[in-house]
Chain A
Amino acid sequence: MKVQEVLGLDQKIYTETLENGLTVYLIPFPNRKNYHIDYVTKFGSINTTFIPYQKKDFVEVPHGVAHFLEHKMFEQENGVDPFQYFSQSGSDANASTGYQTTSYTVDGTSDFNGNLDYLLTYVNSPYFTEENVEKEKNIIIEEINMYSSEAESRLYEESNKAVFKYHPVRLDIGGTEKSVRKITKENLYDCYHIFYQPSNMILFAAGAFEVDEVLETIKNNQALNKKITHQEIIEKKVKEPISVYKKEKVIYLENILIPKFILTFKIPIHHVKKEQRYEYATKINMLVSILFGSSSSFREELSRLGLMCVFSVSKAIIDDFLLIEFTSEADKPEEVKNQLIKWFEERPITKEDVERMKKVCISEEVWNSDKAFPSLLTLKTNVLEFGNPVYDRLEIVRRVTLDDILNVRREIDFHNCSFAVGYPKEQKPKRENKGKRK
């Protein structure tokens, strides 16, 4: 395996791409007990229109298929539930579906190789029948109902629909009750054969294990070795406009007392070359942390203006867009939004701010490198978002200057943002109800 050190962090990343196309990334932690395995396919809710294996024409599958498939992966022909297998060693298994990936995980402290082998076996052994597909529908609809009862996920959904005009990230990851009812076992196999090819998948592991044994286990896994699909993945991609679709979206939510909003800045990054995107994202992170992080006086400024607000900020990359999302609760959302944009755009930044933030970022990297799980997440994010692990992260931070930060800020179009706000339903304007029905 290729091994390379993450500079300054006492951490090594082992990498190998197997003949069948599967790429493996490992970060061993010799003095720890826990391990985390994450087997990922680059297939999520946004991959809805593609050419299936050995076919010529595009199909469009019902929304929520990736998530449905994730649930059904746990169905095995021999009737053994994978959860039962993993509990024998007291390990935890789980899976999750996002916009761009589906991920199967195992966490434990013993029987690493047995668990890894089983993980590869069950994810490489689909068994979808009409009966078991039907049975799953009610479970998934309860899951969708659970999220739709939660104010935050409702608002998040609306926010995505306001930011994007065509991009399928507008659609809910789980689909809707209607789309889920339509899903067939053929849909699942169509997706499975094309998106679960080894070359579209990545295996990550971090924690307590022996590097040599890991590769051995993978190479000897029969279910994985049986996979012979090699077909280019051709998808229909939509062209998403640079502008946000809607500048504002207002909804009314049950069970909330304070209005909530999500303010999203939609920043196109088409022009930033893939290999420079990490650096770009780092500068954006630093900019946001300087202005809104723990040492910022933004909260005091709001309080001074008599505005009540709590907020958090996060960043996401969706294809060629970088999104900065402020999620907030505020008595007067509109006023807070205006203050926030103003602060973001105009608040002076000094050289000292940047130097201190560099110290913070570097310390943060050291913190994360001390724990297996955050290390795995960093690795995974970098591989999925930027194509490769980033070994010179600390160097990249050290190189950043005040001018860099001011430049990235200058490039942002602060008007290209969407404002999704949810008010308590009690605040909904009552319609005049003429001609009452009996």
Chain B
Amino acid sequence: MKYQKKSMGSYNLHLIQTDRFKSISIDVICSNKAKKEEVTITNFLSSMLTYSTKEYPTRQKFATKLQDLYNAKIYPYCYRLGNLYNVDFNVRLLDEKYTEEHMLEETLDFLVKVLFEPNVENGKFDHTSFEVIKNEETALIKRWKEDLRKYCVYEALNAIDPDSPFSINGYGTLEDLEKITEENLYEFYKKFIDGSDIDVFVIGNIDFQIVERMIRERLKFRVFKKEKEDPDLPVLPFRKKPQTIIEKEDTTQAKLTIICLLDKMSRYERDYVLNAYNLILGGTADSKFFQNIREKYSLCYYVNSAGNKLDNLLIITSGITKDNLDKMVMLIQKEMKDMEQGKFSDQDIENAKKYYGTILDGVYDSPSNIISVYYSQELLKTDDISERRKKMNQVTREDIMKLAKKIHMDTIYLYGGDKQ
């Protein structure tokens, strides 16, 4: 596998050569500072751009063109990364070995139309496409709350700090959606395409020179080059005792969400020790949570923890019978206390390292994962894979205990479970 990074003036081009895949993947990552009021319109725009274009003005024409390119795919992916809100335009096409010549060029031509020739007339996006996307975004926004796990995490985070980027609802809001018009969406588009911080990745069995030329000729962003935004969120002051919020609802199972705030971590802690800590505590089916709380006490079907190093959070989720709340919280606190006191085995540490190693090995099997490793090196200045393996293997019991003391339970949020 070969890697090359090239500055193209307004953006960085990352090329990765490998013959492991039958496909070529292109990702255009557009990054902006996360702002609550811009999430809805950013999502809307990304769907709009990948729904129709000036040259392919209906869904049918747009999708038919992609099918003619041997079922090439283009889909947007919007997500928050700490302080940033990103839109990835993911393009996937088969290697020409399985299709015919010039498919890469033709697919890139198509990408150009998606990014630079939107379905706009007289400063307005096409009405029909606009209505379809509006319907779908409405449904998405209305629907997301049905995912109770997500909804509860969102509510709990808002109870901590409604103004922090971590409280942003990535689906957007109906109020913001109502404000979007065919005109102001186009205004936003211009700002977005000229103002985003952009990284372009291409991975596959490619020739660097040829692909670089193809991209240079086609992707002409007019971004004024600037320093990348810092993705890290600030460390918040923590409480002496966690707050408990109980929301009544007529459901059979109560959803438990516990948010812990993390104190200032070093880069090594953030990238490695936190992983080890989390894998041991509640990240796997062999974790302390699973083995002790589920298997010994039969209190729940799932109880997981997940760390978020950019948001400085550790989030614990479970589904329980409401009456068991106190017992459950007590057991979770006990497991966390045990982590502080080093009450876990050497085998636990070994397993966490092995588990992490498996994830690293698996990176090479997926073009998307390879891209995200390089992107994270670019954005978060994380180590490369061999360095990651080495550093993870250096994590000690003392490191984990030290980190454990930086984790403070802040908010216990319980939803529902009131159905008799």
Contacts and interface: CB of A to CB of B under 8 A. Distances in A.
B250 interface: yes
B70 A254 contact: no
A139 interface: yes
Contacts of A109: 357-358, 361-362
Contacts of A142: 253, 299-301, 319-321
B136 to A, nearest CB: 5
B60 A296 contact: yes
Contact of A363 (B70, B255, B350, B416): B70
Interface string B323-362: 0000000000000000000000001001101111111011
B100 to A, nearest CB: 11
Nearest to B21: A370
Interface in B279-321: 284-286, 290-291, 294-295, 298-302, 319-321
Contact of A303 (B132, B361, B362): B132
B64 A110 contact: no
Interface in B65-90: 66-68, 70-71
Interface in A360-408: 360, 363-364, 366-367, 369-372
B372 interface: no
B244 interface: no
Interface in A129-151: 135-140, 142-143, 145-146, 148-151
A148 B252 CA distance: 7
Interface string A266-294: 00000000000000000000000000011
A83 interface: yes
B294 A139 contact: yes
Interface in A119-172: 135-140, 142-143, 145-146, 148-152
A110 B20 contact: no
Interface residues of B, number: 68
B146 A138 contact: no
Interface stretch (B32-40, B106-114, B137-145): B137-145
Contact of B354 (A90, A143, A254, A258): A90
A90 to B, nearest CB: 3
A279 to B, nearest CB: 21
A199 interface: no
Contacts of B99: 363
Q: Which of B92, B359, B361 is most buried by chain A, counting CB atoms within 10 A of its CB?
A: B361
Of B64, B255, B356, B365, the most chain A CB neighbours within 10 A belong to B365
B154 interface: no
Nearest to B51: A299
Interface string B120-139: 00000000100110011011
A308 interface: yes
Interface string B1-32: 00000000000000000001111000000000
Contacts of B143: 256-258, 329
B362 A33 contact: yes
Nearest to B65: A295
B60 to A, nearest CB: 5
A369 B22 contact: yes
Contacts of A81: 286, 291, 295
Contacts of A31: 20
B332 to A, nearest CB: 16
Contacts of B357: 90, 109-110
Contact of A138 (B253, B299, B364): B299
Contacts of A333: none
By secondary structure, the B interface counts as helix
A88 interface: yes
A4 interface: no
A309 B285 CA distance: 38
B270 interface: no
A149 B253 contact: yes
Given A142-B300, A255-B145, A367 B358 contact: no
Nearest to B297: A138
A17 interface: no
Given A81-B291, A90-B356, A142-B300, A295 B67 contact: yes
A359 interface: yes
A142 B252 CA distance: 9
B136 A310 contact: yes
Contact of A110 (B139, B319, B356, B361): B361
A308 B138 contact: yes
Interface of A: 31-34, 81, 83-84, 86-94, 108-110, 135-140, 142-143, 145-146, 148-152, 254-258, 293-297, 299-300, 303-304, 308-310, 329, 356-357, 359-360, 363-364, 366-367, 369-372
23 contacts: A33-B361, A83-B285, A87-B351, A87-B354, A92-B285, A108-B358, A142-B301, A142-B320, A146-B302, A146-B319, A149-B252, A255-B148, A258-B143, A300-B60, A300-B128, A303-B128, A303-B135, A308-B139, A310-B139, A356-B67, A360-B67, A366-B22, A372-B365
